[in-house]
Chains A and B, each alone.
Chain A
């Protein structure tokens, strides 16, 4: 790819941030997995060194989710990236088994009221 043609478009004043969100995802806008905003992300190991297909944002996500799992929305908020971008990055990390991502508990799938009771008791104790 030559830069001479593309460059004037990208340095335009209206271009916004130097690296556009979809540049980090190499143009992919749609994630394969439809992660929920509260899907929990947990690192499976320490942040890997950069390698092909793994950028600084990927490594930041793995670093963020070392201590304790974070919801996808928290990851997005800490990185200052849109949710759609984080979804695509999570796809990459999941494919390399660098993170685990949980599906949130569905209201209708909760087998009994124990979650509700725990929430109510927990809130009362706050």
Chain B
């Protein structure tokens, strides 16, 4: 890439903040945008990627051939920490399709939150598979809709066939404190993995 790095030493201009991102994944209607909105300093924003010829062949668009372009929408939020650090939270677009958008979103992400609804647990399987395959650390947060809790954390863990290291927790995506806890649990999990895990990629330029 020929654009400037965050740690660029351009003397005349102020140093730009460090930007990091966390993905929020899960099935349709599980509360991804709700969680983003609960902790974001602004109302969640929406951005779109147009799926044109680039996506054809990658995505199965049979049945919608008459549409020459498809729009993939992503909701996201922002939390600034002082002037030098900003965290973006991106809700991932629908699963099973649009994987190329996921690849783009996952690039450079610190980790991911997989939101699960125990009434439709299978809805989060594709997200779990994706992050496992791509080696992106994640936590599973079971969003407790009013009285929707039907299974224990251990049962969820078993049903998802998760690595024992992967944190599974209950949350209420509408609550700021609860959503904050989910993010903190993820960051601690990622940090632990960094300490114990694989060799960090070489930083040389």
* Residues in chain A within 8 A of chain B (CB atoms): 21, 29, 33-40, 42, 44, 69, 71, 73-74, 76-78, 82-85, 94, 100-111, 113, 115-120, 122-124, 126
Contact = CB atoms under 8 A, between A and B. Distances in A.
Contacts of B2: 33
Given A82-B71, A104-B21, A77 B4 contact: no
Interface of B: 1-6, 8, 10, 13, 16-21, 39, 45-50, 52, 54, 71, 74, 76, 78-79, 81-82, 85-88, 90, 104-105, 107-111, 176, 180, 183-184, 187-188, 190-191, 194-195, 200-201, 203
What DSSP secondary structure best describes chain B's contact surface? Answer: mixed
Given A103-B1, A104-B19, A107-B190, A73 B6 contact: no
A84 B18 contact: no
B85 A100 contact: no
B20 A82 contact: no
A13 to B, nearest CB: 15
A107 B3 contact: no
Nearest to B46: A77
B6 to A, nearest CB: 5
A39 B104 CA distance: 12
Contacts of A85: 50
B104 to A, nearest CB: 7
Given A40-B17, A119-B87, A122-B79, A103 B3 contact: yes
